[in-house]
A = this chain, B = another copy of it.
Amino acid sequence: MQTSDFLALIEEGLRALPLPAVPEGLYSPIAYALDGGGKRMRPMLTLLAHNLYSDDAEAALPIALAFEVYHNHTLLHDDLMDRADVRHGRPSVWRKWDENTAILSGDAMLIESYRLALNFQGPRRDDILSLFARTTREICEGQQYDMNFEKRTDVEMSEYMEMIRLKTSVLPAGALKAGALAADAPATDADRLYRVGEKMGLAFQLQDDLLDCYGDPATFGKRIGGDILCGKKTYLSLLALQKADVATKARLLELLAAGQEEAIAPVLEIYGALNVEHETHDAIEALYAEASAELAAVACPDERKQVLADYLTAILRRNK
């Protein structure tokens, strides 16, 4: 099976979710959110990891869908908490409906994600459910750290990396490991795949930070410099603050705190002078190499790994 087959399975599974017609105010925002496109990266990782050991992709589908529905739950609540107006090129749920809808439909999605996970009947079910519980809890911690960081100017790079590990990496990591467990893979392989997801998730976030400053507006789909505009901590801003001399650091903090349109060009100029773009690119490549090395060490035939390896490459070479 190829990536496109797995994607078709995921989309079909999402469309087949038993979402009742009423109360319409609860369920139609869920259908809207799940129909919003997105890469389906997390369920894809579950199916690709499962596929390393098994040809019966449907057996792992409930777990794959649980990760996707959970991920979309976080988008509903995070967009509300972050006051983000747009998601996948359309109004976010709290903007299209209202705040209470985002809260309650988001809760129902979290519950639906657990129902899906419980639906899985296969090997290592308890390990998978515990992993799902731990992963979802860690993501709450990551979001909390992210919100804490907004009020601080002294965030260290190590704190940032731990925050994005929790907020964005444990989900692909958990999705990969769960897929392996669902195929009853050896424990060492399952743990290796977890680390593949962790490295890949970190690289993914750094890529996101990079594209925000240096992406092609035509393909990226968001405005360039959005992170600078809202003074967000990113790998780039923290790296620049780390490398800058005292005067530049003061100037950079001032520009980021201002959060104005006029700040974008001078911030990019400072980044340029400090070689931030290339060092971020190097960091992404290093993480990609680590993820690839972990995958290479997974004890299954190389030809079975090709689809997953290609998928990781495509994700990290993306320009949007």
Contact = CB atoms under 8 A, between A and B. Distances in A.
Interface of A: 23, 25-26, 77, 80-81, 100, 103-104, 106-108, 110-112, 114-115, 118, 126, 129-130, 133, 136-137, 140-141, 143-145, 147-148
A26 B140 contact: yes
A188 to B, nearest CB: 25
A103 B77 contact: yes
Contact of A141 (B26, B129, B141): B26
Contacts of A130: 118
B140 A107 contact: yes
Contact of A148 (B25, B137, B148): B25
Given A111-B136, A112-B137, A114-B133, 5 more contacts: A26-B144, A77-B107, A80-B103, A111-B133, A111-B140
Contact of A25 (B81, B129, B137, B144): B144
B100 A81 contact: yes
B115 A137 contact: yes
A137 B126 CA distance: 22
Given A107-B140, A133-B118, A136-B111, A147 B81 contact: no
Copies in the assembly, this chain: 2
Contacts of A136: 111
Contact of A104 (B25, B26, B107, B140): B140
Given A141-B26, A145-B23, A148-B25, A103 B81 contact: yes
A104 B112 CA distance: 18
Contact of A23 (B80, B115, B148): B148
A87 B139 CA distance: 27
26 contacts: A23-B141, A23-B148, A25-B144, A25-B147, A25-B148, A26-B140, A77-B103, A77-B104, A77-B107, A80-B103, A81-B100, A81-B104, A100-B147, A103-B103, A104-B143, A104-B144, A107-B110, A108-B140, A110-B110, A110-B111, A111-B133, A111-B136, A111-B137, A112-B137, A114-B133, A118-B130
A149 to B, nearest CB: 11
Contacts of A141: 23, 26
Nearest to A114: B114
Contacts of A80: 103
Contacts of A126: 118
